[in-house]
Amino acid sequence: MEPTSSILIVDDDRDIRTLLADYLESNGYRTHGAADGTAMWKLLDETKPDLIVLDLNMPGEDGLTLCRKLRAHSNLPVIMLTARSEPLDRILGLEMGADDYLPKPFEPRELLARIRSVLRRSNSMPSGGMDKASQIRFSNWTLDLTARHLLNPDGVVIMLSGAEFRLLKVFLEHPNRVLNRDQLLNLTQGRDADPFDRSIDIQISRLRQKLGEDARVPQIIKTVRNGGYVLAGTVAVEPRA
């Protein structure tokens, strides 16, 4: 548990904000609440939260729009709250860069478990033998393990969500090895795959876009039919100074 972590709850329903704030504070977290995007941006600057719980359906700028804008300049962890009756919302949330999603209605203890899991993954990345590395180079790209972003071949910074960073790091720790969905979910999220869980496929699609890959014939992260995915090529590790 991260007892000093700060959670920003963004939901236009005051009752839900209050319920979640009370529950999370009783479990050792600090919380702040925002009813809309304007309040969210203000609190982001003022409180520097460690994670955002973001409702998808809000008046004005919805959760998808806010998540997309956040991802343009930050890899702050986001857990998206979505409607159970609309599975497409979960897919869109992941496509916009959310680290996890939780369908409504849900038990507060389930959200607590997701928060703990996301914070634990963000703060304690598995080293895979790369604990002394500062950067990993592959196919003229560089993954900066300290800043947790990508550098393209021209040195331009490409922001990654927490989920995208973890997934790419796992691939780089296992180059030229086929990894199936179950393995990727276990290595990145510590859970088994649901038969209808498309989160890994969506995150790989986003990674390919950020790597400038042709989705029809990707050269870096390749699809292995009936097998999974493989990161092809040479990987070089640059040690910390």
Stretch(es) of the chain classified as CATH 1.10.10.10? 133-239
Strand ranges (DSSP E) for 85-126?
100-104
SS3 100: strand
Q: What is the mean pLDDT of residues 134-142?
A: 92
pLDDT of residue 127: 42
166 near 121, Cβ under 8 Å?
Answer: yes
In this prediction the pTM is 0.62
The token duo for 77 is 């962890």
SS3 140: coil
Report the relative pairing of strands 51-55 and 6-10 from DSSP bridges. Answer: parallel
Rounded to the nearest angstrom, the gap between the alpha carbon of residue 236 and the centroid of all alpha carbons in its chain is: 24
- pLDDT (tens digit, 9 = 90+) per residue, 18-75? 999 999 999 999 999 999 999 999 999 999 999 999 998 888 888 888 988 888 777 7
Q: Indicate the CATH number of 133-239 among 1.10.10.10, 2.40.30.40, 1.20.140.10, 3.90.550.10.
A: 1.10.10.10
Q: What is the dihedral of CA 184, 97, 89, 193, to 10 degrees?
A: 10
Any idea what the Cα angle at residue 225 is, between residues 220 and 226, rounded to 5°?
130
Integer Cα distance of 132 and 16 in angstroms: 43
188 near 173, Cβ under 8 Å?
Answer: no
- pLDDT (tens digit, 9 = 90+) per residue, 78-127? 999 987 556 666 666 776 778 888 888 889 999 999 999 888 876 654 44
Mean pLDDT lowest for which of 8-22, 89-103, 146-160, 212-226? Answer: 89-103
Stretch(es) of the chain classified as CATH 3.40.50.2300? 6-123
Write the single-letter amino acid at 106. Answer: F
* CATH 3.30.160.20 describes domain 6-123: no
